[in-house]
Amino acid sequence: MDPVFIFCLVVLGATVGFAAGLLGIGGGMMLVPFLAMLFPVYGVPKELVVHAAIATAMATIVFTSISSMRAHHRQGAIRWDIVSVMGPGLVAGGLLSGGAVFSHISGVWLSLFFALFVGYSAYRMLKGKPPGPGRTMPARSATFGVGAAIGFVSGFLGAGGGFLSVPFMVRGNISMRNAVATSAALGFFIAIANSAGYIYSGFQQVGGQPGMVGYIYWPALVVLSAMSVVTAPLGARCTHRLPVATLRRLFACLLFALSVYMLFKGWQQMSLG
């Protein structure tokens, strides 16, 4: 790979890994726009760029989430009772999204869908409205259903679902730190299911494209995963030491910027098409 490409991936992986540990996100929402910028320059066909960016970002979460999850588990912050209910739902939704629906949606619509959901996520993070004192997590069947919905939506975004699972748990009066830690564990289930789906659904569409396994661009995956695994525990430790509310606001501003970029990419592809 080109040295400049490797350097960009190293910086991206380190930054996303830290953010994943700090905020309980998978990091996909940060990766996708940047990968969508880099991939066309380094040989990924334009018609596959958005799909490859989303799939590669999601595959990276498999490794990031394991590293982040271990760090949060050592702090005793993960609510495994919630993971045991939402996890199977996440897998079901992720397999359906990544394996059956993803390949049939154009890059334009994926870009627009990504932009809208990232923008909504940023709005929710900025709003930060506290839940009512009497709110609790819903029944197990409803929690499973929410997990399936989050897994399904995340498959279109290359995201670990933290932008949806954290607000969901906070609304159920789970503390922010526990919600962030639990979301890190939930991201693993989303990533595994969707990555398997991307490989399966991408084989027929991608064919023998160099460097790609299904929709996943594996050279980028190796570098991103190696760096994110190193920095995710650092972010997880900072979660328990730093003012997360301030960091969430800064992160929300970044998400707004990424949302605007992906809207521009979607508009640009529509103009060219």
Mean per-residue pLDDT, 244-261: 71
Taking alpha carbons only, the member of 38, 45, 49, 27 closest to residue 1 is: 38
Contact 179, 169 (CB under 8 A): yes
Q: Give the whole-angstrom CA distance, residue 43 versus residue 161.
A: 29
- Count of CB atoms within 10 A of residue 43's CB? 15
Residue with tokens 């994926």: 110
pLDDT at res. 57: 87
Residue 66 Cα distances to 141, 191, 221, angstroms:
26, 11, 15
What is the CA angle 125-131-133, rounded to 5? Answer: 155
Write down the pTM of the prediction: 0.76
Query: Which of 52-66, 165-179, 251-265 is the least confident region?
Result: 251-265
Q: What would the pLDDT profile of 168-209 be if each residue is shown by its tens digit?
A: 888 888 887 888 889 888 988 888 888 888 888 788 777 677
- Which residue type, as a one-letter code, is found at position 10? V
139: left (phi over 0), alpha (psi -120 to 50) or beta: beta
Q: What would the pLDDT profile of 78-104 be if each residue is shown by its tens digit?
A: 999 999 999 999 999 888 877 667 667
Q: How high is the mean pLDDT of the chain?
A: 80
Query: Tokens representing 221?
Result: 């995956």
Coil, strand or helix: which one is 27?
A: coil
CA quadruple 156, 162, 164, 166: dihedral, nearest 10? 170
